[in-house]
Amino acid sequence: MDSQTVRGIRLLALFSLAVTPVAVGQEILTAWGDPNLEGLWDYRTLTPLERPPAFADKAEFTPEEAEQFRDGMIQMRDVDNRPDDANVDIESAYNTAWYDWGTRLGDLRTSLIVSPANGRLPELTPAARTQMRERYTQDDTPSRDMVLLDANVAGFSPGGPEAMGLSERCLVGFNAVPHLIPSAYNNNLRIVQTPGHVLLVTEMIHNARIVPLDDRPYLPDQIPQWNGVARAYWDENTLVVQSRNFTDKLPVYQLPFDLADLDKNGAVGFGSDLQLTERFTRIDTGTLRYEYTVEDPNTFVEPLKVQFDLRASTEKMYEYACHEGNYGMMGVLRGARVSERESQLAGQGE
């Protein structure tokens, strides 16, 4: 039996301890007395991250506006068509058989962002704006290494896998980086508890964060991690998870990649100075309130605060075996080599 198998068995044993829910008043507790957050939690929502410009400073929809917005989002995202542009046809013509955005708003709020008060991402610092423009407009292919989404840039020809996006390399998911961003699919979070640890498993990329509940120190600053280094504690009935030690290859925040608006879209900032604080509070048997604060003074002029509720799910969460099924990576790299060879032969007059 190899060392990886032994380690897997030990971890399975650690997180297979029986957790018997104990109801005390309105609280649901574990057998050892901590608030019980265990279970599979679904964070799909049609409420947008940023408040749509059409709603300006309107913090909440009216019920009529909410219904109209919901119906419009469902229709817009059920993209079942055959556009003339072949690239768009291949990459974007997915309907709800493939997507899983959900069909409901979380509440009447017009954005998941609660601060800034305008419901929009904070303004970027001048240094962050300059850095982003430099990364996305330079000609060398490694610049795309910092792009998190899977969408291909026209004319992009990767020299190797290291030039591909992070989710294309199965390193980081686009809806959990590690803070949760409701998106097109795999919007599930599994929480498992023991007396000394909390396990947070996101379905996207099947990323597992094992978070200790003691006062052990963080790793040294020179040892960065894709998902940072997390430490947790209880603030009454709320689990507070604080993360730092992020790699500078990880975006501070991710929005749809759009070269036409580099001031706000694409991978926003790069996270060596990112400080992330997440708060998990069980509201009732079927609801888990999730809040987080993103602080990075090198990227945003003020902290970003997001809040939304997760719903208890009775479905199963399957392994997201990204590497095993990553045929797209091989196809893109092979296609790039074929294109280069064809160009070389054309230049030689063959």
**Cis check: omega of the bond before 116, within 30 degrees of 0:** yes
CA nearest to 183, candidates 290, 314, 45: 45
Q: Give the lowest-confidence range in 9-18, 135-144, 189-198, 263-272.
A: 9-18
Question: Domain residue spans in the chain?
Answer: 3-46+117-347
CA nearest to 267, candidates 135, 91, 114, 122: 135
State the pLDDT confidence band at 81, using cuts at 50, 70 and 90.
low
State the pLDDT confidence band at 15, using cuts at 50, 70 and 90.
very low
Average per-residue pLDDT in the chain?
A: 81
The 3-state DSSP class for residue 162 equals helix
CA nearest to 304, candidates 155, 112, 83: 112
DSSP 299: T
**Res 251 pLDDT > 90:** no
**Res 40 pLDDT > 50:** yes
State the pLDDT confidence band at 348, using cuts at 50, 70 and 90.
confident
State the pLDDT confidence band at 154, using cuts at 50, 70 and 90.
very low
The reported pTM is 0.83
The 3-state DSSP class for residue 322 equals coil
State the pLDDT confidence band at 137, using cuts at 50, 70 and 90.
low
**Separation of alpha carbons 127 and 140, rounded Å:** 21
Bridge-based pairing state of the strands 275-284 and 238-244: antiparallel
Bridge-based pairing state of the strands 229-235 and 238-244: antiparallel
* Residue 265 or residue 234, greater confidence: 234
Q: What is the mean pLDDT of residues 78-92?
A: 70
Strand pairing partners for 235? 238
Q: What tens digit of pLDDT does each residue of 183-205 get? A: 888 999 999 999 999 999 999 88
**Res 117 pLDDT > 90:** yes
